[in-house]
Amino acid sequence: MFRRTDFKKLELFGNGKKNTRVFKVKHIKTGKIYVLKEVEARSLDKLNEYKEEAVQLGKVQNHPNILQFYGYYFYETPHNTYKLGIISESIDRESNLEIVYRKRIKIKKYFTENELITMIYSLIDAFAYLEYVGICHRDIKPQNVLINEEDYTLKICDFGCAKHLVKGEPNISYICSRYFRPPELVLGCTDYSTQVDVWSVGCVIAELCLNKPIFPGKSSKEQLYEIIKILNSNDFTKISPYLSIL
């Protein structure tokens, strides 16, 4: 386990959800460069909840298409809060797939077929490994994927919503970003498997190929309509009772 004093912060990469800040840091003793994701919690219970990301990351290491995790630290601040630091491999802040994808759309430089094949293989290979070890990411989207623009391989990152699913144990349904959320989660299902990630991976692949989101719903109800529209189902009577709960 690391200590926060082991690192020197060099650059703030950005801020995220859950009071998260991401830094480029240097390990003082070795001089090696890493990425630090620091999360602030107001209680020990919340800190333990955030530590789940480090726990899940520790289970899925040494795969070429998953961000390499090196360890974590935590400490109490002078303001009676707690901070968790998750240390991972050094990355280029511009390597986020969402950023690269948006820039390409803007200049109409779309991914080629060969580039897409490599990217799709990377995603599927990473997901297959996660399923093998029983980890459900639950938030796969371009923003949580890194791209190497030299060979177009991808790496899945940000395991803040990841969980080892246990059969028969209920899970929260309000998870996974809307455009990439499978129908069962839209409808509030709490008994699901790693197959929810299959839907999200498919949505990412479709967006990369179409150069736009395939299911751009602005609400849960609209999201379900978008899904039905694309899947070419005209029988709305079967789902009408479910729409009333959205």
- 210-215: Cβ within 8 A, 24+ apart: 211/105, 211/110, 213/179, 214/179, 215/179
CA dist 182 → 15, 127, 146, 174, 215 (Å): 27, 16, 22, 11, 10
Gap between the Cα atoms of 187 and 170, Å rounded = 15
Instruction: Name the token pair of 116.
Output: 């897409």
**92 annotated active-site:** no
Name the region of 10 (left: φ>0; alpha: ψ -120 to 50; beta: rest). Answer: alpha
Gap between the Cα atoms of 27 and 8, Å rounded = 7
C-beta of residue 65 within 8 angstroms of C-beta of residue 86: no
Catalytic residue among 139, 158, 191, 235: 139
Residues annotated as catalytic (active site), given as ranges: 139
